[in-house]
Amino acid sequence: MTAEVGFYLADTVDEQDQDGGAFTHSFCFDNSLEVVEGKTINKKYDEVRLCYPDKTELYVDGKYLCNRESCGESFDTHRDRNKHIREVEKPVLCPHGCGTRMAYQGYMKKHCDSHKPEGSRQKFTCLVCRRSYMRLEKLTKHKNKKGH
């Protein structure tokens, strides 16, 4: 595999991420439609309120079990379990109303860039391979890495 192909693969993974990817918790959505306004939790984007299990809940044989019955995943720490729930349920809502949900505020920020018109988001383009970057340092780094 050439490094160039690597870039395209990375782009594809991004797209899959935005489409939701594998989904095992979908039935939970009906229970968790309460939307928390981003500004009330010091965040930029609104989030659906998730129901996380307590630290002592569903702790079996040294493993923290996911509280979604059809899921069956288990974790070494309570924190990993919460992370899993967030990553599968993607509570962060797109403010542009396209229906996209993301696991983290940062991912949504990136997604929102896709709502901006082309020219306004990618400003520095590598003339050799057409890869574009928001910042000049990134393009310079890319060129150094690729040796062109």
Question: Helices in 2-148 by DSSP H: which ranges?
Answer: 3-19, 78-89, 105-113, 136-146
Q: 73 and 66 in contact (C-beta within 8 Å)? A: yes
Pick from 94, 103, 108, 139 the residue near Zn ion by CB under 5 A: 94
> Residues 26-55 vs Zn ion: string with x where CB under 5 A?
------------------------------
Q: How many residues bind Zn ion (CB under 5 A)?
A: 12
Residue in 99, 76, 75, 104 with CA at minimum distance from that of residue 88 = 104
- Determine, following the binding rule CB under 5 A, whether residue 126 of this chain makes contact with Zn ion: yes
What is the token pair recorded at 99?
Answer: 């229906």
Q: Which is nearer to Zn ion, 12 or 70 (CB)?
A: 70
**By CB under 5 A, which span of 14-22, 45-53, 75-83, 97-105 interacts with Zn ion?**
97-105
Nearest approach, Cβ of residue 31 and Zn ion (Å): 14
Q: How far is CA 117 from CA 49, 76, 86, 133, in A?
A: 31, 43, 29, 15
- Determine, following the binding rule CB under 5 A, whether residue 129 of this chain makes contact with Zn ion: yes
